[in-house]
Amino acid sequence: MDLLRGVDLHQRIQAITTGVILLSRVGTLVMVGLSIVALARLDGYTNKPLATATYLTVAVWSVVFLPVVARRDPIPRPVLAIDVAVTSAAAAVLPWSLTEEAFATAAVPDFEPVGVSTAVAVALATASWWATAAGGLALAVAYFVAQLASPAYFEVASTANIIGWQVVTAACCCLFIRRLRAVADAVDLATDQVIAARERVAARRSQDEERMRHFQEQLLRHRALHDGPLRLLTAIAGQGPAGHPDPRVRGQAAISANVLRGTTPDDPDGTLTELSLALIEAGNDSAAQGLRVEYHFANLPDTLPSEVLHAFRQAAAEALANVARHAGSSRVRLTALSDRQAVPTVTVAVVDQGKGFDPETTPFGYGIRHSITARMHEVGGAAGVDSHPGQGTRVDLRWPA
């Protein structure tokens, strides 16, 4: 992630922008210096004090402007506004201090290069069409005023050409810097997405590691209980030599073994909830009759409406009682899970490998019709029974339907 964040494209772009502004301004000032030499050789000044004041103003402002550009990020907009004002004023005033011959023959008598440099600086520093247009308009007005200094050489086409050169150059720079910044924004967004994806992967990996650690702890706990108290309680509850002679003690031992078996789930998502405790209680009566229930709970909601809990408990108890009475099997598997939707659907299944029956020839008894199916329907749930002779029976309870 540090490597992804190591390159700041916006900072690189700003550095390039600053370099272009500084280089263009220094280059144009050199051109102004050459123009001064050319005009002096032609004796082209009619008002030397005005020309000197104009050049000094531009020079002093350049001494202020260039360090600000080099050090400030971003360049303050007031500084750019002053730069446009100074350049426009110089471009408008200087031609009024020149002879007509000098105005016609000198290469840069009215700060044209500096004007282009100023427009480029506004475009690159602001990346704003409005700011670029405002700066260009101010410079365009200055050029028209400058042309009025020599009516004999005033040409609309020539002035429009100068302004057009400036406008096109500034517009190209503005478009370029806006596109470049958009690319940098897209790269930043993609980088953020990659980092977020990596963080999600790391979080899921951490969760998986935590679940595995929890699973290992549960497995060790289950083994310890199975090899100790659970085995002893099961033996006491049995009919063999280790079984207790008092049936009441055997029944209580069976109930205790059932509770212990249900409260030590072997699934990493198996946590104790109101529903899992209610289902364990539902198995107590059947456990006292010698039925061994294997519980598997996963991803259950922390709480459910009380009437739904009661319906699940009673319907599961009836299904387990049917196994104990009719299945001819001493083992049954009870699973309870829910999906991960915003409104989860809870499903409880009671499955045995007993004798089974044919639902087409054997009608459902009162217990299935009323204690299971009707009870789940009353709370907005559903129930289903699937059985085949010799292949056991499965009872499914679901809420909501």
Q: What is the pLDDT of residue 4?
A: 45
Q: Are residues 39 and 161 in the same domain?
A: yes
Domain match, 161 and 293 both: no
Segment 84-89 mean pLDDT: 92
Residue 247: inside a domain, yes or no? no
Give yes or no: residues 68 and 176 share one domain: yes
Residue 211 forms part of a structural domain:
no
Question: For the chain, how many helices (H) and strands (E)?
Answer: 15, 5
If one counts the domains in the chain, the total is 2
Examine the domain organization and report whether 20 and 167 are in the same domain. yes
223-274, pLDDT tens digit by residue?
Answer: 555 554 545 455 455 565 555 555 565 555 555 655 556 566 555 555 678 8
- CATH code: domain of residue 321: 3.30.565.10
More confident residue, 71 or 367: 71
Ramachandran region, residue 76 (left: φ > 0; alpha: ψ -120 to 50; beta: rest): beta
- CA 51 to chain CA centroid, Å, is 61
Separation CA 49–CA 320 (nearest Å)? 112
Rounded CA-CA distance 60/66 in Å is 10
pLDDT tens by residue, 98-107: 877 766 655 4
Among 43-52, 58-67, 133-142, name the one with the lowest average pLDDT: 43-52
* Domain-embedded: residue 208: no
Enclosing domain of residue 178: 2-194
Give dist(CA 347, CA 345) in Å, integer: 7
What tens digit of pLDDT does each residue of 331-340 get?
A: 888 989 888 7
Average pLDDT, the chain: 79
Residue 350, beta-bridge partner list? 334, 395
* Shared-domain flag, residues 148 and 287: no
Length of the chain: 401
Q: Which of 166, 194, 222 is where one domain is finished?
A: 194
Residue 311 has pLDDT above 90, yes or no: yes
| The last residue of a domain, from among 194, 222, 248 | 194
Average the pLDDT over 327-331 and give the result.
82
Distances (CA, A) of 123 to 58, 67, 99, 116, 162: 20, 19, 34, 11, 18
Q: Let me know if residue 97 belongs to a domain.
A: yes
Residues 38 and 179 in one domain: yes
b/e 270-300 (16+ beta carbons within 10 angstroms → b)? beebbbbbbbbbbbbbbbbeebbbebbbebb
Residue given tokens 């198995």 in the structure block: 283
